[in-house]
A = this chain, B = another copy of it.
């Protein structure tokens, strides 16, 4: 027989590390920063702590860097630390429907694994959950054959912070200035997180006091997001059958009422009635024919759209404020659209435009900032649903130039933010958004909202210019 055997998740992703964003040394540095900062912001937001994140990059040799990310978040309990950092597909964000930057349980373990594979160094962690508890320090190396942590060192230490987490990774990397630079990336993070304070020490700094600070432009935390149940409109037959087998609910009616969002007892009864399945049938006793009937009945039953308190938009006022601070412009507008649904998941689109002013050139292609759940997307723009929607929008009617099927040309910065309980990415590196038609349609509507206001501004400006000539 052929030698068929199991492949561990970590072996698979060690070989396929470009799927996680570690294609080359320059990108590896950016991906590492991203995974660390995303985790710190998620943790602080969820614990309702105003996020303060310190990012330091030290250059150790020509192609080796040490990245340290320290936050004032709630910390991680000691018994979970090895698994969090030394096991792929382990985390707190996958099994729930709630907006967060992370969603896979892969990010930080992948960064640690890349560091281990390229330098042999284990990931170093300090974490503390409360002032009256000790700070725990760990050195953890992932065993790639087994996808399991090996704790190299563990002790309790004195730490000047009452709570928080500090992560240090040594990796083969490359530090660039300019377009795809860490400096730009951190600036883009602050744009979408106006409530957070980011303090950044670059590798080429003059001394350790030489620090770039992105202070929060607001003291208000983002709205707290609720965790929701799946909406029945998205569920597939096989998934429904599995849920019926596993539910603790004792009747079909109670099953629909408790396992899904927006299904009242009455609506649950309607579904059962339409399917001609007794409302008090035991879920585990539902056979295939009945499951198929229930599955058919769901889309034919009137069920309220999913709740939207599970998404925290940045908001028009803060978008304009943040965008202006980075790109001072003569005209600025932002729009936050109301939430809609794809595959049963609520999502919403926010767009903002900064136009004109001394800094932006009229002959350059517009700058497009893409965001998903407040995280800047820097790579794979050619594969991204946002780029597709921008190119598919007719910008000529708002007074801009636009080569066919391309980004428009003009003194413009475009910012597009997709916020969802779960974002469909084109790969595990979370760099580009998959082309769901509902999402592309909604982005275009958001761009048109802002475009119309831009068009009015451009026309008004031209009228004024013409009048001056006369």
CB of A118 within 8 A of CB of B18, answer: no
Q: A18-B434, A120-B288 are in contact. Are A129 and B1 (CB under 8 A)?
A: yes
* Interface 9-mer from A87-95, A194-202, A369-377, A445-453: A87-95
A90 touches B427 (CB 8 A): no
Complex contacts, A116 vs chain B, CB 8 Å: 238
Chain B residues with CB under 8 Å of A427's CB are 19, 426-427
Does A117 lie at the interface of the complex (its beta carbon under 8 Å from any beta carbon of B)? yes
Q: Which residues of the partner chain B approach A19 to less than 8 Å between Cβ atoms?
A: 426-428
CB <8 Å contact, A119 and B238:
yes
In the complex the two chains form, what is the Cα distance from A46 to B428 in whole Å? 32
A132–B390 alpha-carbon span in the complex (Å): 63
Contact A12 B120 (CB under 8 A): no
Verify if A305 is at the interface (C-beta below 8 Å from B).
Answer: no
Most chain B CB neighbours (cut-off 10 Å) among A87, A120, A383: A120
Task: Check if A90 sits within 8 Å of B7, measured CB to CB.
Answer: yes
Find out whether the CB atom of B120 lies under 8 angstroms from the CB atom of A1: no
Q: How far is the CB of A143 from chain B (nearest CB, A)?
A: 9
What chain B residues lie within 8 Å of A238 (beta carbons)? 115-121
Nearest CB of chain B from residue A283's CB, rounded to whole Å: 14
Interface flag for A8 (CB, 8 Å) = yes
| Identity of the chain B residue whose Cβ is nearest the Cβ of A435 in the assembled complex | B23
Contact of A237 among B46, B119, B237, B426 (CB under 8 A): B119
Number of copies of this protein chain within its complex: 2
Does A144 reach chain B (CB closer than 8 Å)? yes
The answer to whether A23 and B434 have CB atoms under 8 Å apart is: yes
Residues of B within 8 A of A465 (CB): none
| Segment among A76-84, A269-277, A348-356 that sits at the interface with chain B | A76-84
Closest residue of B by beta carbon distance from A437? B24
Residue of B nearest to A115 (CB): B238
* A178 proximal to B (CB < 8 A): no
Chain A 26-62 interface mask (CB, 8 Å, partner B; 1/0): 0000000000000000000010000000000000000
* Chain A, range 239-268, C-beta contacts under 8 Å to B: 239, 241-242
A382's partner among B16, B46, B74, B383 (CB-CB below 8 A) is: B383
Shortest distance in angstroms between A107's beta carbon and chain B's nearest beta carbon? 12
Interface flag for A5 (CB, 8 Å): yes
Give CA–CA (A80, B8) in the complex, Å: 17
Instruction: Give A133 Cβ to nearest chain B Cβ, in Å.
Output: 12
Question: Which B residues are CB-close (under 8 A) to A237?
Answer: 117-120, 172
> Chain B residues near A9 (CB, 8 Å)?
9, 89
Expressed in whole angstroms, the minimum distance between the Cβ of A174 and any Cβ of chain B is 14
A89 with B428: CB separation less than 8 A: no
15 A–B contact pairs at CB < 8 A?
Answer: A2-B76, A7-B94, A9-B89, A12-B94, A12-B105, A18-B424, A18-B434, A23-B434, A115-B238, A117-B237, A117-B239, A119-B237, A119-B238, A120-B238, A382-B382
A interface list, Cβ under 8 A from B: 1-9, 11-12, 15-16, 18-19, 23, 46, 74, 76-77, 80, 83-84, 87, 89-92, 94-95, 104-105, 115-121, 129, 144, 172, 236-239, 241-242, 288, 291-292, 380, 382-383, 422, 424, 426-428, 434
Q: Which A-B residue pairs are the 8 nearest by beta carbons? A: A117-B238, A1-B77, A2-B92, A7-B89, A4-B92, A427-B427, A120-B241, A120-B238
**A6-B87, A18-B426, A115-B238 known, 10 other contacts, Cβ within 8 Å:** A3-B95, A4-B83, A6-B83, A11-B94, A12-B104, A16-B428, A18-B424, A18-B434, A116-B238, A117-B238
